[in-house]
Amino acid sequence: MPRPNPAQPERASAEALRNLPAALERSARERPRNGFRIYNRRGSATEDRNYPEMLQSVRAAAARLKASGVGPGDRVPVCLPTGWPFVEAWLGAVWLGALPVAMAYQGAMSSAEAQAAKIDAVCERLGAKRLVCDPALKAELVKLNARHAGPIALAFEDFAALPAGDVPAHDAATEDLAFLQLTSGSTGIPRAVMIPHRAVLHNPIAIADAVVAPFGCTLREHVDGVVSWLPLNHDMGLIGCLAFCIVHGVDLWLMRSETFLARPKVWLQALGGGARVLSPSPNFAFQTCVERLSAADIEGLDLRNWKGAMTGAEMVRPETCAAFGERFSPAGFDPRVFRPCYGLAEGTLAVTFDRTCAGVKVAKVPAGAQLDLRESVSNGPAVRDTQVVITAPDGTVLGEGSIGEVRAKGPGIFMGYYRDEQASAECLEDGWLRTGDLGFLKDGELYLTGRTKEILIIHGHNLMPQEIEWHADAAAGGGGKLRSGAFSVPKGSEGEQAVVVLETDERGGDALAALAHEIRSRVGRALSLPLADLVFVKRGQIPKTTSGKVQRLELRRRYLDGKLERL
The residue ranges of every structural domain in the chain are: 9-30+42-172, 464-560
Residues 6+ apart with CB under 8 A from 448: 315, 342, 376, 377, 379, 406, 437, 438, 439
* Residue 129: pLDDT over 50: yes
- What does the pLDDT average to over 98-105? 94
pLDDT value at residue 456:
76
Task: Determine how many CB atoms are found less than 10 A away from the CB of residue 541.
Answer: 20
How far does the chain reach from its first CA to its final CA, in angstroms? 57
Sort 94 into a burial class: Cβ within 10 Å, 0-12 / 13-18 / 19+: buried
| Residue 80 clears pLDDT 80, i.e. is over it | yes
Q: Is the pLDDT of residue 166 over 70?
A: yes
Write down the pLDDT at residue 107: 52
pLDDT in tens, 304-313: 999 999 999 8
Of 15 and 379, the one with more pLDDT: 379
Partner residues linked to 353 by β-bridges: 341
Q: Is the pLDDT of residue 302 over 80?
A: yes
- Tell me what the mean pLDDT of segment 1-6 comes to: 34
Rounded to whole angstroms, the Cα distance separating 120 from 88 reads: 23
Q: Which candidate, 271, 282, 261, 259, places its Cα nearest to that of 81?
A: 259
Residues in the chain: 567
Say if residue 185's pLDDT is above 60.
Answer: no
Does position 483 have pLDDT exceeding 90, yes or no?
A: no
CATH topology (fold) of 9-30+42-172: Rossmann fold (3.40.50)
**What is the structure's pLDDT at 549?**
64
Exposure on the CB side of residue 45, measured as CA atoms within 13 A: 2
CATH of domain 464-560: 3.30.300.30
Asked if 375 and 322 touch (Cβ cutoff 8 Å), the reply is: no
- Write down the mean pLDDT value for the chain: 89
Most confident range (mean pLDDT) of 42-46, 118-122, 164-168, 201-205 is 201-205
* Residue 354 pLDDT level (bands cut at 50, 70, 90): very high
Per-residue pLDDT, 548: 56
Strands 131-133 and 75-79: parallel
Quick check: 289 and 320 in contact, CB under 8 A? Answer: no
- In the chain, the percentage of residues whose pLDDT exceeds 70 is 91
As a whole number of angstroms, the distance between CA 567 and CA 560 comes to: 17
Instruction: Grade residue 488 by pLDDT with cuts at 50, 70 and 90.
Output: confident
- Cβ-Cβ contacts under 8 Å for 125 (sequence gap 6 or more): 189, 192, 419
Which is more confidently placed, 373 or 450?
A: 450
Q: Pick the residue with more confidence: 243 or 516?
A: 243
Strand partners of residue 132: 78, 154
What pLDDT was estimated at residue 390?
A: 98
Q: Are 328 and 289 in contact (CB under 8 A)?
A: yes
Q: What percent of the chain has pLDDT over 90?
A: 68
Spatial contact of 38 and 259, defined as CB atoms under 8 Å apart: no
Confidence label for 132 from pLDDT (cuts 50, 70 and 90): very high
Ranked by mean pLDDT, which of 203-212, 466-475, 492-501 comes out on top?
A: 203-212
d(CA 130, CA 74): 8
pLDDT given for residue 357 in this prediction:
95
> Looking at residue 172, what is its pLDDT?
97
Q: Are 347 and 433 in contact (CB under 8 A)?
A: yes
Q: State phi, psi for 536 to the nearest 5 degrees.
A: -100, 130
| pLDDT (average), residues 78-90 | 97
Predicted confidence at residue 15, as pLDDT, reads: 61
Give how far Cα 33 sits from Cα of 21, 57, 83, 88, 250, Å: 18, 16, 20, 19, 9
